[in-house]
Structure 1
């Protein structure tokens, strides 16, 4: 199974609590689609998003082009105010375990938030040390790609950002 774990594209600044993307963020989402079309990234078989508009908008071009449903995953939501760090990491772990149960030919694109991906680096069972400063900052539309083995090991492939 392949996993591409994304932080959403650049979000707009508003006070709604659920901002959409900026024009640059929408351009990043389109660029992501271009990279997949050009075979620079694997074609997704599943698109997982948090309930927030910005994650859904990041994957909407992929969804429309490939006819894939955006699958809302509550577990990809940011850390909640009533959730301590241990509970947040447990929620992340449960979702990672769900991913490892997928078929070996699945290609999951998961879009979430800064705090989620940073905490995921602390719990992902990887062949690479994800606790280094290299993985401590995630810009908009940054992603990490893993090949996930049948034994549940997340084999590191690349860490990149969709740049314009």
Structure 2
């Protein structure tokens, strides 16, 4: 989880978004990922810091200079689709969003992908922290309301049509 900010006056709210990070490969490459050793000959592109979040999987890849952490997630999709990297570590919905964006921007034909489960992330890792209890409570209340009303799902659907 990193640094716990409760002792410094932080008030943790409920997680609004929980990332569902997976390994993504092109189906045409017929790659199977079930254990860290399966990455031994593969090049991996991911969000920055993934090697620290998932050291069991990515430590050796990083040590062998086969890991590229880049914050621009559109670049991650391009690097996979154009064959520069074998594997992307990404949230499945964020990846789909950028695939759709590439289709619109460049008329790219999307390729079939395979998602490989990486791990089960813990919702506590994604909780926002506030300086005040009232602000945190207001955030939690608002989050409940937009989920109950269906607005939360409409926001997701606006960006990602599944």
Higher percent of residues as strand = 1
Tell me the TM-score normalized by structure 2: 0.35
Tell me the TM-score normalized by structure 1: 0.35
Larger of the two Rg values belongs to structure: 2
Pick 1 or 2: higher relative contact order, CA cutoff 8 A, min separation 6. 2
Higher percent of residues as helix = 2
